[in-house]
Structure 1
Amino acid sequence: MRDYLLFCNYCRMFTLLHSYNRETGMFLGEYSLLHNEYTRNSIVLNRFLLAHVGHVMRVIPSKTEEFQEIICTAAHFLQDDIDKFVEESLALEKYKERDRRSEREIGLVQLYILEHLLVHELENITEIRASTPAEGQVLLGRELGLKRALELLRSALAEKQALE
């Protein structure tokens, strides 16, 4: 896999894009030795582009002499702030994961509430006595529908618990 850097000819400054991630459609971004992680977002790239509006820029692939020369001689854009950007990126990922988990837990609570409501409705239906055979058929259909809904809901809850 190839790594890339973006180089501004006018300022003799670069930012490391690293490799391109096809799944996210983004470059891995700058790398922090402190956190042993990439930014995994385009914040440094965006700032680099804004800081160099109107300048001639080139994308340089790794494994070339020019890549090595630029790394050794040119200035690295926002080099002192990379650790901060990676830290913010990691914090954002943790927040997103915590948010996803809380959404799942809320959904699970909603399913248990739905189960309770369906059981309560089923109990109410079974206590009603039909005055005509047609009404009896309607009540039977509602009862069977509620039982089927409970069956499907409990099956989904069992699958959810099996996956965890």
Structure 2
Amino acid sequence: MVDALPEHTADESLQVQRSRWARWAWVPALAVLAGIGIWYAVSPAPLPSAGGTVTATTPAGTPVYIGVLARAAGENRSIRVRDVTVVTEGGDADVTALICRGSTFAVTAAPEAFCTDLSEAVGDTLHLGAADSLILSVQADEPATLIIEAVELSYRHGLQWDTQRVGPTIEVSVLER
């Protein structure tokens, strides 16, 4: 006959317990992954940007169109334009950012001669791999010398987004009509 095993009560001090730190070990790993994800999202490659100064002359009340951002060698991105901020000094002017499809130029009074299509830049997609370019339409009703020092382009490229300064310094002489 087999004797029944005596009943034992477990001593609390002999039990295997999970350590507290093991339960929270995933938190630093998650923080590192989140940091890498945020860095990736806000760190796209710089956009191509020409330095220097572009000058243009136009009569008061007549717009002039100036190229700001065009395809550079090896550039093959499409970016979604979220906002374009232009800082103008020297007078009041209407400045509009446009996308010129199919061409690029420095300065013109007739973009239709170069562009297959013109559209508002904000909310549209700029295909740098194609022959698209970002241009500014500048129009002032009074004679002035306008200086555009900074064009800031806020955009999204896939999962990445950024705001970068693009384009040259622009000087526009608005003459009396």
Q: Is TM (by shorter chain) over 0.5?
A: no
Structure showing the higher strand proportion among its residues: 2
Structure showing the higher helix proportion among its residues: 1
> Which structure has the higher relative contact order (CA within 8 Å, separation 6+)?
2
State the TM-score, normalized to the length of structure 2: 0.28
State the TM-score, normalized to the length of structure 1: 0.30
